[in-house]
Structure 1
Amino acid sequence: MTQISGKGGHRPKTDPSVNRYVVRFNAEENARFLAMFDRSGLESKGAFIKNFIFQKPFKVYTIDENTRVFIDKLSSFNSLFRTLGVSYDNVVKTLRENFTEKKAMSALYKLEKLTIELVKVNSEIVALAQKFDEQWSLKSR
């Protein structure tokens, strides 16, 4: 009987899972079960139940839409600052090449005021990001 017959098909398992159990849930319990199953990210409900019963660890990934939007906005600010830095360098270079010293200095003075405002906005963004990080780390505990 240990020989495999030549009929084809799958090889028989050495330890087949033949024992089955039935669990019935009411509507509320089923909703809770499905919510837990969705958070687990596992492919089948049977695998989820086995892991849960035998306390095998599995990871639960949750996606907070507000966090994603916040991170996207921070990323766009970062690219905006890079763009502004390049534009700033180009403006200073153009001013020095094409204008008299007096006109260039007045334009640079205006540019300096705008840069100071930009730095203030940047510090507000950093403070907001730190506040968000503190709140998020409190939620994850």
Structure 2
Amino acid sequence: MNGDKNEERKKLGRTPKAEPRIHRHVFRLTDRENAKLLSLFEISGMDNKAKFIAARLFEKEIRTINIDKGTIDFYMRLTTFYAQFRSIGVNYNQLVKLLYRHFSEKKAAAYLYKLEKQTAEMASLFQKILQLSQEFEEKFIKK
């Protein structure tokens, strides 16, 4: 029985790493060098300075990711706008069905004529939106 308890105790705790980092190095920087190191560290997006410095020393590839919040906001709004556009299309189909179901053909045609004018205006507005989004993408995103 005592042997079983000892075996259970051995299994507890953190599993040992295959290559533990046990060697420590200290170096000093001037204010200017430190500012440059910190700016490079922030640009890299890494979450650990030690890993960043080791990657720089051993010339590993360091990826920098620039996140433009304006671009993200633009895409999010464009996505919600697209969802609204789809819902307008669904509502449009439902409205046409209801018009023909509840009104005479002549009266339904009159209402559809008004709806068609509004749809034409909306289509021209969507063309402008598409043009503006393409210009935005060419100017700001594809750099």
Q: C-alpha deviations, 1:104-127, integer Å up to 9, x for none? A: 111101111111111111111111
Determine which of 80, 85, 102 is the counterpart of 2:84. Answer: 80
Taking the aligned partners of 1:136 and 1:76, their CA distance within structure 2 comes to 21
Q: Residues 1-141 of structure 1: matches in 2 within 5 Å?
A: 18=23, 20-26=25-31, 28-138=32-142, 140=143
SS in 2 for 1:89: helix
Q: Which amino acid aligns with 2:68?
A: D
Taking the aligned partners of 2:74 and 2:26, their CA distance within structure 1 comes to 46
Q: Which amino acid aligns with 1:54?
A: F
For normalisation by structure 1, the TM-score amounts to 0.79
Taking the aligned partners of 1:124 and 1:38, their CA distance within structure 2 comes to 39
Taking the aligned partners of 1:64 and 1:107, their CA distance within structure 2 comes to 46
How far residue 10 of structure 1 moved from its aligned partner, in angstroms, is 8.4
Long gaps (5+) in structure 2: 1-9
For normalisation by structure 2, the TM-score amounts to 0.78
1:4 corresponds to which residue?
none
Q: Which moved more, 1:75-84 or 1:43-52?
A: 43-52
Structure 1 runs, 4 residues or longer, greater than 4 Å off = 8-17
Could you say which structure has the greater relative contact order, defined with CA pairs below 8 angstroms and 6 or more residues apart? 2
Q: Which amino acid aligns with 1:24?
A: L
Q: Which amino acid aligns with 1:47?
A: K
Q: CA RMSD of the aligned region, Å? A: 2.6
| Residue identity (%) | 34
How far residue 41 of structure 1 moved from its aligned partner, in angstroms, is 2.2
SS in 2 for 1:52: helix
